[in-house]
Structure 1
């Protein structure tokens, strides 16, 4: 059974808020999602599932069905604020969705095979998809998951701070992961800021860019943790339930191992509007060196 690609796209409302396509970066207007799906198909994924807001279903289908028809199976699931599906009957006010780990629960009714989770607006590189397929088809089980670890120096923006899941790794296994919400370059040094203080990070520190490998067994643990998180944070409308929180729980309770799959690929994405020309140049370079065809879906 081929693995599934689960794409976190529910947070992209502003880009899908009209019938216009999302930002184009490739020579023929290809989006970052297009390149991820292309790499996933080449690597051997059998299905792609989009996590979206329900009101954008028609837009997504109009954008992606013509491109992907006959190339890969597609499905759509919705991230919403309904807590009754988790047995929570009280109303909890939220200013934004509950976060990435809550989002993947949206896929629990349509995914029955090993699967990979990625962000919609990040470019990961073909190497990451190939290595993830190898893991999901030969190593993954309910106590053995994975993430692709990028060198932090290859994931930063020149235009401001970023949030990164900083990994501690021993013998290719994750021992600890901490969400650092303010990471940036200061001169020639990479630092993260916490409580007003700066702490250095080595350039080759492995970080999670939300490229995870799971089996469906992870849904039960994630749901249990989310119920507790929602109740513990009902007075904190900005609190988010991140995937690294689930991973760290599994690691610390010795419930599951996470293999950290190294990649030398350079990540890029649009954290700030000033990043767009850099992303366009990066994709043009990949097209020019033959990594991708000029017209991706021709």
Structure 2
């Protein structure tokens, strides 16, 4: 088995952030959050990184990453677009953006033949998470035994608006029983009365701060491409008239678990997650990175 691959979801529109945050600078030498993820992945023993991007971003991404990563890790690119024929759907459906994160993963099906993990470009996961995922992908992963990193939702919030999280139900054995994508999680109230809620169909529900959530840090084998390809055509047909429908990654492990196809180990990590959803999040991320550098967790200049 070869070294695992890192699949980076970097095709998002960044509509709430207001710019192409995938390459925005957060470190002292203009390092992006992706740079820190790739640095951690290299240290953990990953052999390749594949970026999922919109094709119009290719020149920007290559200028940002190709030269500085040469000789350190293999780099490749896959494009998320509106061509459904690649996935067995012979029709054209007008949309303003592609079909979501699982659709993005499918876009890399011809680039990856080894165990791999999926991450978001704009989330900082920390070295411990990459080390533990690499160990799992090297030692434990099979087509029937995959994984995800489980974070406490209370450690993944933004003070500046809503976030989307895959909320997990975890078994006594530490496996995922189910994962449900919640796209509207936010703080409500102030001070001692502040709590975490999510909104579904205009109804608010409380969410325990210690609830385990997926931050789209999954450990897969290429078997997941087959499952996506099986499920995607029916999803498209069911949602052809819904321009906001998205084929989310958590729906795939959820389907596999409920149909006895695979277990998903929820891997605990001591890494602290932080990310950028809104412009107001940027100084917080910059400060967090500065603190990690001061502690010796990262060199001041990564590459």
- Between 1:180-189 and 1:126-135, the stretch displaced more is 180-189
* Stretches of structure 2 lacking an aligned partner (at least 5 in a row): none
Cα displacement string for residues 256-279 of structure 1 (whole angstroms, at most 9, x for unaligned residues): 110000113221111111001100
Q: Distance in 2 between matches of 1:71 and 1:282?
A: 26
Q: For residues 54-74 of structure 1, what are the alpha-carbon distances to aligned partners after superposition, in whole Å with 9 as ceiling and x for unaligned? A: 222122111101210111010
The answer to whether the 8 A contact 1:155-1:267 is kept is yes
In the alignment, which residue of structure 2 is the partner of 1:280?
Answer: 286
2:272 alignment partner in structure 1? 266
Shift of 1:178: 0.9
Superposed CA RMSD in Å reads 1.5
1:121 is the counterpart of 2:122: yes
Secondary structure at 2:23 match in 1? coil
Within the alignment, does 1:230 sit opposite 2:232 as a pair? no
Counterparts of 2:108 and 2:26 in 1: how far apart (Å)? 28
**Do the aligned partners of 2:176 and 2:263 also contact (CA within 8 Å) in 1?**
yes
CA–CA separation in structure 1 for the residues paired with 2:185 and 2:12: 21
CA contact under 8 A between 1:151 and 1:264: conserved in structure 2? no
Does the Cα contact within 8 Å between 2:23 and 2:34 map onto a contact in 1?
no
Separation of aligned partners in 2, 1:295 and 1:87 = 45
Equivalent residue runs for 1:1-298 within 5 Å: 1-12=2-13, 15=19, 22-170=23-171, 171-186=173-188, 187=190, 188-297=194-303
Distance 1:270 1:86 in 2: 31
- SS of the equivalent of 1:56 reads helix
* Structure 1 unmatched ranges of 5 or more: none
CA–CA separation in structure 2 for the residues paired with 1:91 and 1:28: 44
How many residue pairs are counted as aligned between the two chains?
294
Aligned-partner Cα distance in 1 for 2:117–2:298? 22
Measure, in 2, the Cα distance between the counterparts of 1:16 and 1:23: 7
CA deviation vs aligned residue, 1:198-237 (integer Å, no higher than 9, x gap): 2222221110000000001111111111111111110101
- Higher mean C-alpha deviation, range 182-191 or range 204-213: 182-191
Partner SS, residue 159 of structure 1: coil
Structure 2 residue matching 1:243: 3-state secondary structure: coil
Structure 2: distance between partners of 1:185 and 1:263 = 24
Secondary structure in 1 matching 2:12: coil
TM-score of the superposed pair, with normalisation by structure 2 = 0.94
Q: Residue 192 of structure 1: CA displacement?
A: 1.4
Q: Distance in 2 between matches of 1:108 and 1:91?
A: 21
- Give how far 1:245 is off: 0.8
Shift of 1:86: 2.0
TM-score normalised per structure 1? 0.95
